[in-house]
Structure 1
Amino acid sequence: MHLPIARLALALACARATVPPSPASPIEATGSPECGTGRAAEGSLLALQPDWATPLWHTAVAYRGGTCAPSGCKWADVCIPSWAERPRPAGPFLSAMDTVGYMPHDVGKVATVLSAEPCGEEWELRRHADGSLVARGVTEAPREPPDDGSTHPFERVGACFVDFSNVTAAGLYDLQTRGGNSTGIVVDANVYRAPLKQALAAFYMARCGQRTEPLSDPDLVTASLRGISVRPFAHDECHMEDGFVDERHTGEEGLERHRDGTGGFHDAGDYGKYTVNTAMAVGVLLHAWQHHAPALKCLELDGLPRAHPVMPYVLEEARYGLDWMLKMQKRDGRVYHKLTPSRFVGRGTLPDADRAKRFFAPWGTAATADLVAVAALGARMYAPFDPAYADALMDAALRSYAVLAAHPTEVIPDLSAFSTGDYVGQFNGNPNHDRGVRIWALSELYESTGNATFLDELEAHLSFFDTPTAQCAGNRDPLSMCKVADLVEWNQQRDMGIVPYLLSARSPDLRNASLVAEVGEQLRLVVDKWARTASYDPFGRHMGDFTKFGVSVWGINGEAARHALLFETARRALGVDHTRVSAATLHHLLGRNEERRSWVLKLGFNPPENPHHRPSFVFKDTWPGLLVGGPFPEWRDEWRSFASNEVAINWQAALVYALSALAPASCTSEAGPRKGREGRGNSYDA
């Protein structure tokens, strides 16, 4: 199990043997070369097979004879230059809680104890090191929710609460209850630093069109130790023939021809690349930077080759997706919908071994509007670091907007030649998807240019959604006609447009004041209902049992994490602070749930072992830092369960946003995250 740490105590070691280290003693360098300086004997195979009950956070870098960089080494000849021994046991967690840990002043340090017994039994929190008593109390029963529709429905279970929020001293603790002990509870100001880095590293590992180098950051899980040798989580150059245009797949006359579509991210469990979903991922990453720059400004991954070191790492990763989207844009501004094989392939191969021919799908207005949105947003975010690139993004956004203006009704791409993911809102329960994407595109265009034409068109689209505000607290119908939806997904993007609309910093302010007030009130109703639900739900879920009593959402975990963006928008625009609820959602994803497990691969206690993710399937070991989709409506730890156990870049970006909202400042000279209604600027909050 791979549990993140509060503090790392690095011990440089490596061994020539495959004998697992004794959990009772520190790892010793048995006849080892000088691993700390990167020296290894020529031809030696150096590997350690750990005892999986031993709580070790590991990194691995390949070396072959003498000193060499990871990129110049063969993976077969491996030395493990650094082990980080974590001062904590590997569970078990018999209570449902955040198994990664808590910030010292988090007022939501709550564990859910599943029990058929009445609440009121004693609990004790003790220091792990010496067993000394830190806090004690009695378990509390969940409050009875009102029967007035003011909360979302959830299933009642036999559960009691343990609230140890008054424990603020950093340390390692054990919780003792009648139902059993939960050991290794971390309280530390930096508890989310390593998980945030791991979540971002997952994007690098998902890059297409290049070799991804083995990472060497001691905060990260960088290699698999399953089997007899160390195997870095990396792949060679892949999909360099992307892609092809023809009449059957692309709907363009003439002979089959090649068009450069290299780059971008492998979308999910498969290796396809989809414009609509890439836009969602890139947009949320850019908002993470805009809203939580202190946590991301100095965050770097050791061992990562940087193409654009002038900008923060999160912006370089987002740019990798943006650059690919620009390749999906035709000269006239139309944007191809996706680039995939005709059908899903490659289940048993790494991306560099996938030889399937991949084709561009026809253009559509949704993909075109998505490019407008992220390019216009990117123009603001990249301007301080690369003005020429920002200008190129703005040019691309305006060119594609001209296409939207010429096609005021939705153009749905013909995907009949494909059986890969469609990412078409009309096919997924939302006939107003195209209008929602246009709202996002126009909102970003207005904020970047101040052009009143974009604002007028944006507000006309918003006015189309005419459900009275009083009915918009929690309408889970995909056909909802509220201006603010309580779902934010690739097929429900209008809330992505609400964010810049409500946080606009344009001067003079040309927005319709009554419309701004109406949109703001609908957002307040949505987040307030989420907050009330979280206060009653036995696992602190702000959506309740959404997949059981609402509309089944594929990727409910990503949806929940993405709501951190709306909570933050409400805080900044309306002064409605539900930071505790946003934190509770992260606690839920990291262990305070019915399964009592982290939903993030190799983070926290008992994460999934069999995700629908091709590289993990090949390795027979999960690639780290990836958020799985979650119950749909049930969850199974099986690779075939793509409906509940797949990964996807839009969910991953949501995890990055949620973690960055709570992570401490990454620059040692900066203060922690700021509070209040600041941060409505055009670029970012640094």
Structure 2
Amino acid sequence: MKFFLRLLLFIVLCLFTLLAFKPKEQQSWIRINLLGYQPKSIKVAVWASKGTTLPKNFELVEKATGKTVYASSNIKTFGAYGPFASAARLNFSEFKKPGRYYIKVDGVISPEVIIGEEVYQNTADFALRYMRQQRCGYNPFLKDSCHTHDGFVVYGKEGGLKDSTHFDAVGGWHDASDYLQYSTTTANAAYHLLMAYRDFPKAFTDQKLATGLDGKNGVADVLDEARWGLDFMMKMHPSAKIMFNQLADDRDHIAMRIPKEDSQYGKGFERPLYFIDGKPQQRGKFMNDTKGTSSTAAKFTSAFALGSELFYGADVNYAETLRNKAHTAYQYAIQKKGVTQTASVKSPYIYAEDNWVDDMELALASLEFSPKVSDLTKSKKRASSLDSAFFYAKQEPITPWLIADTAKHYQWYPFINLGHYELAKQSAGDRKRALIDYYKQGITHVWNRAKNNAFYRGVPFIWCSNNLTVAFAMQCMWYKQLSGDGAFSELEQANFDWLLGCNPWGTSMVYGLPSWGDTPTDPHSAFTHLGKYPIDGGLVDGPVYTSIYKNLIGIQLTKPDAYAEFQSDLAVYHDDYGDYSTNEPTMDGTASLIYLLAAYDSRTDKEFTSYQKEKGAIIRGDTKEKRLAIVFTGDEYADGGQKIIAALDKEKVKASFFFTGNFYRNTAFASFIKTAKAKGHYLGAHSDQHLLYADWKKRDSLLVTKKQFEDDLNANYKAMEKFGIARKSAKFFLPPFEWYNQAIANWTEDLGLQLINFTPGTRSNADYTYPELGKAYRGSEEIYQSIIDYEKSQGLNGFILLLHVGTDPRRKDKFYDKLPALLKYLKQNGYNAVPVHRLLEK
């Protein structure tokens, strides 16, 4: 009996020991862009935890030496998201030294963090590998041919074609892991490839022949690939009266197989060609919702037009053929205005595109006219096309999913409005501003969702969410490029980083990129599943809402889920061949990614510099740099002039002064103005008569006409000329009362000037108040502390800190007396105070 008691005690002790020394399960992770970061880019990692304790600081540790090279408390904390109870954004943008590091937070170590100028070099060409592998007809990856008998016409009656008539439709790209081919995705993919070469030619090399086999042919590989798509599109639009919307249908999905000849369509090895007749066609047991011919035909127009432009120098005959095709495709688009949807036979799943005016806008913005016509005729036709393009732009200013936060499969396609970008580049004045604002409105809808979680995720988890993510990052990038407003730069970078590992699952969504990181290994692809071939560069569909995943037909995981601890009621992603909803690569999504990768590979210092705007005025400079501008305004008073100059001199700081015409004409202030100019401070305009431009309560209600505004501002600059201050050297204008609206910003732009205003967040602009103003009064100590508090919590990078050069005599507590202490504090904390033109220069 004692023996059994001792044995039982021994077993209990062993179990206790095992439990006591059981490794603690990991509770926190650090997610990064696995591919890396460029030195001057926004660099943010996300700390995510199953617990609720939030980090207070983090370190960047050099991999080779183990030394901490950077430490920061620049952390923005968030609550629960997906599988995590808490999360935080760790911002290390100000660290710029190239090298290999890892981030450390309370003992948690990130994957390797790479910083370097060339982290994205050749990545666009890498993703191009997937496009070549998707080729139909001759496939250079397999060195074999498939689907060489295509195809036979269906629904051809409207075009005077007998069903089963044969047309040569061999070529193009397989759509995804299946082998059917859609005209709409082909045209969009071709356009993105052409656009990528047009905008970023240096991102691409020549390593392949036109066939896709190894060798050089003097043509960038991306143009060879785009031409492969264009050649197929010409077969799908063989004449002015004929256009096909798809080749094959969902009968393709009989089983996974390496591409070959298919015979399941009832006519030997031919596959069906669906004629575009503008009417509903089959969708399983139902009919699709086709209403017209515009959406596909307009996409053909823009791709043909851009191809014509790019190939003109190398192959004039080919370029002319493409130009002619662009015009016949446009005529097909207006044959019956409306959307063309795809068809299916067995399943309900189709590309249920619902919009077409965006395609018409892009088509009209892209149309090229023959060089054989006179310049005057061409100019008139061009102007007419652009006017029509803007008409369509106004029909759908915002791509609907940006607002709705959901969509059917490919319901609004392409996933952003490419036409706004192309039209804005060719526009000016109110039209250009309107197009830019359309982009901003859409981005703002997404940002309002994204700003509430640490991943800045505002893109919905619908089917092909990665395609939407790529497109949305492009819209953010184009908005910044067109407007100069970098307010959404971190949101753009977050979407790019998401694709490459900074997501809840910690995995890149691009097969094989980077080669050393966690990327898809078991995608829903016959190439990998049957042939064990890599599908380098393929962008997989991406996470979906868990509710969508649970209701899809025929999904079953084939192995234990490697990401089980990161799945949630919000969304799922599986690196498993059995999940076609999250892990299937797509041809058109990859083509869009090629554009984005080429853009990031080609970024220059100009792209890294950003400002923030509000109602058209720049209100903050680049937040990646510890630089700020201290600005002083003046109209009636200049009592602080001497003290301000002395304080600036002592700390060797250059400031900016914006004065009214009243101030410049006041002889009592002339000596101070000359001194400020001689010492290298910036001198600018603040209106002539210190007018109030807009109603205080109804900001959009103007109190001046455009002529009054212009006359007043011109008078201000006239007064400045007497001090040798030329308009061209003082293009930044700060509005009187720091009060304005979008109309004022537009009028300023029309004069070739740039409106700026102070950065909100501190009380600095209240240093003019005096006790008799009651609740509006702010003492100097309160103002000073508000600046310090803001600096400690959010930083003053890029700040435009506004003060007054003088105040009403009733204010005895002068804030400029605290300027020496403020300047010393800023310098001690690493800030470099510069004039506004230095802060905001590109």
TM-score, scaled to structure 2:
0.56
Q: 1:193 to 1:354 in 2, by over 3 A?
A: farther
CA distance in 1, matches of 2:156, 2:327: 30
Aligned residue identity for 1:501: L
- Which segments of 5 or more consecutive residues in structure 1 lack a partner in the other structure? 1-92, 146-152, 214-233, 481-486, 548-552, 666-670, 678-686
Q: 1:176 to 1:600 in 2, by over 3 A?
A: same
Contact 1:335 1:371 in 2 (8 A): no
SS of aligned partner of 1:656: helix
| Deviation of 1:129 (Å) | 2.4
How do 1:235-250 and structure 2 match up within 5 A?
A: 236-246=144-154
Q: 1:475 to 1:324 in 2, by over 3 A?
A: same
Aligned residue identity for 2:183: T
Note if 1:520 corresponds to 2:436. yes
The equivalent of 2:728 in structure 1 is none
SS of aligned partner of 1:270: coil
The equivalent of 1:256 in structure 2 is 164
Note if 1:630 corresponds to 2:542. yes
The equivalent of 2:479 in structure 1 is 570
The equivalent of 2:299 in structure 1 is 370
SS of aligned partner of 1:134: strand
Q: Give 1:328's match in structure 2, choosing from 216, 230, 236.
A: 236
CA distance in 1, matches of 2:157, 2:50: 56
How do 1:176-195 and structure 2 match up within 5 A?
A: 176-178=104-106, 180-195=108-123
SS of aligned partner of 1:169: coil
Q: Give 1:644's match in structure 2, choosing from 582, 597, 607.
A: 582
SS of aligned partner of 2:38: coil
SS of aligned partner of 2:252: coil
| Deviation of 1:175 (Å) | 2.6
Pairwise CA RMSD: 3.8
How do 1:286-435 and structure 2 match up within 5 A?
A: 286-296=194-204, 298=205, 300=207, 305=213, 309-341=217-249, 343-345=251-253, 347-352=255-260, 354=262, 356=264, 357=269, 358-363=271-276, 364=278, 365=293, 366-407=295-336, 409-410=337-338, 412=340, 415=343, 417=345, 422-425=350-353, 430=354, 433-435=355-357
| Deviation of 1:157 (Å) | 4.0
Task: Kindly provide the CA deviation profile for residues 659-686 of structure 1, in whole angstroms up to 9, marking residues without a partner as x.
Answer: 1111148xxxxx7776789xxxxxxxxx
Aligned residue identity for 1:265: W
SS of aligned partner of 2:77: coil
| Deviation of 1:265 (Å) | 0.7
Contact 2:524 2:579 in 1 (8 A): yes
Q: Give 2:422's match in structure 1, choosing from 500, 514, 517.
A: 500
Task: Kindly provide the CA deviation profile for residues 212-234 of structure 1, in whole angstroms up to 9, marking residues without a partner as x.
Answer: 14xxxxxxxxxxxxxxxxxxxx4
CA distance in 2, matches of 1:352, 1:416: 21
Contact 2:525 2:585 in 1 (8 A): yes
Note if 1:590 corresponds to 2:500. yes
Q: Give 2:184's match in structure 1, choosing from 276, 289, 301.
A: 276
| Deviation of 1:328 (Å) | 0.1
| Deviation of 1:411 (Å) | 6.6
CA distance in 2, matches of 1:534, 1:294: 33
How do 1:106-121 and structure 2 match up within 5 A?
A: 106-121=41-56
Aligned residue identity for 1:208: C
Contact 1:283 1:377 in 2 (8 A): yes
Aligned residue identity for 1:601: Y
Task: Kindly provide the CA deviation profile for residues 170-202 of structure 1, in whole angstroms up to 9, marking residues without a partner as x.
Answer: 222233333532243222221112432221111
The equivalent of 2:127 in structure 1 is 199
Aligned residue identity for 2:523: P
SS of aligned partner of 1:197: helix
| Deviation of 1:368 (Å) | 1.7
CA distance in 1, matches of 2:607, 2:179: 39
SS of aligned partner of 1:351: coil
* Rg larger in structure: 2
Q: 1:166 to 1:403 in 2, by over 3 A?
A: closer
Aligned residue identity for 1:359: P
CA distance in 2, matches of 1:445, 1:268: 30
Deviates more, 1:604-613 or 1:439-448: 439-448
| Deviation of 1:495 (Å) | 0.9
Q: 1:155 to 1:654 in 2, by over 3 A?
A: farther
CA distance in 1, matches of 2:274, 2:388: 28
CA distance in 2, matches of 1:156, 1:248: 54
| Deviation of 1:262 (Å) | 1.1
Q: Give 2:388's match in structure 1, choosing from 457, 464, 468.
A: 457
How do 1:77-116 and structure 2 match up within 5 A?
A: 94-116=29-51
SS of aligned partner of 1:597: coil
Task: Kindly provide the CA deviation profile for residues 313-352 of structure 1, in whole angstroms up to 9, marking residues without a partner as x.
Answer: 2122111111111110031243200001561236332113
CA distance in 2, matches of 1:535, 1:395: 47
Task: Kindly provide the CA deviation profile for residues 428-482 of structure 1, in whole angstroms up to 9, marking residues without a partner as x.
Answer: xx3xx13332222222227996524433433333343489xxx9995226799xx
| Deviation of 1:573 (Å) | 2.3
SS of aligned partner of 1:259: coil
Contact 2:541 2:585 in 1 (8 A): yes
Contact 1:590 1:597 in 2 (8 A): yes
Task: Kindly provide the CA deviation profile for residues 567-608 of structure 1, in whole angstroms up to 9, marking residues without a partner as x.
Answer: 232233222234443332221111110111111112243223
CA distance in 2, matches of 1:323, 1:456: 30
Aligned residue identity for 2:393: L
SS of aligned partner of 1:644: coil
- Which segments of 5 or more consecutive residues in structure 2 lack a partner in the other structure? 1-27, 279-292, 371-377, 546-570, 611-842
SS of aligned partner of 2:46: strand
The equivalent of 1:657 in structure 2 is 595
Aligned residue identity for 1:361: Y
Contact 2:538 2:590 in 1 (8 A): yes
Q: 1:494 to 1:192 in 2, by over 3 A?
A: closer
Aligned residue identity for 1:464: Q
Contact 1:339 1:360 in 2 (8 A): yes
CA distance in 1, matches of 2:161, 2:450: 55
SS of aligned partner of 1:402: helix
| Deviation of 1:273 (Å) | 1.0
